[in-house]
Amino acid sequence: MTFYEVTFYVLAVVALLSAILVITCRNPVHSAIFLVLTLLSVALIFLQLQAEFMAAVQIIVYIGGIMVLFLFVIMLVNLDVAVRQAPYNRQRWIAGFAALVLLAEFTLFIYQGRDWAKLPPAAAEAVQPNTELIGRALFQNYILPFEVASLLLLVAMVGAVLMAKQR
């Protein structure tokens, strides 16, 4: 096994394990920490795939921004009380059944589509600094989505203010 494969499997296992811990932890802040760990391992997988910029965005925006917001919300609504009530306990069997069905479905799809999803062999050497490629692709080929993104951000901003002000 090459170093490349070892790192991939380690990261994948960490990502999956911590993802499982996110939903099994009773303490919401522990869940949040494990979600951070999941996102971090995904970021490192991006890094391994030479998508340096994506990895940085994953860390800066998701972990440094969105997860901080999650933590704020957990603290804001005092989830300690909510945890003791364990609201979804009775649906455990139904949930397990649904998850199994979903798993079977996914396995089937992936199995059927295994040829279709084959990727071309990767270039031997990294083409060039990856960030520049993203930049050029984004600002030359995908200008409309880019500008729409600013609209989306604007809407989100206004929405956040409206929601907070109604209280």
The site for other proteins (CB under 8 A) is made up of 2-4, 7, 27, 29-30, 33, 36, 47-48, 50, 52-53, 55-57, 59-61, 63-66, 68-69, 71-73, 75-78, 80, 122, 124-126, 129, 131-132, 134-136, 138-140, 143, 146-147, 149-151, 153-154, 156-158, 160-161, 164-165, 167
Q: Which is nearer to other proteins, 27 or 112 (CB)?
A: 27
Rounded to the nearest whole angstrom, what is the least distance from the CB of residue 87 to other proteins in the complex?
19
Q: Which is nearer to other proteins, 92 or 124 (CB)?
A: 124
Separation CA 88–CA 29 (nearest Å): 18
Contact 51, 130 (CB under 8 A): yes
| Cα–Cα separations (whole angstroms), residue 109 to 68, 98, 103, 112 | 36, 17, 10, 5
Query: How near is the Cβ of 56 to other proteins at its closest, in Å?
Result: 4
The angle subtended at Cα 56 by Cα 60 and Cα 39, nearest 5°, is 70
Nearest distance in Å: CB 108, other proteins: 30
CA distances from 36 to 73, 89, 135 (A): 15, 25, 27
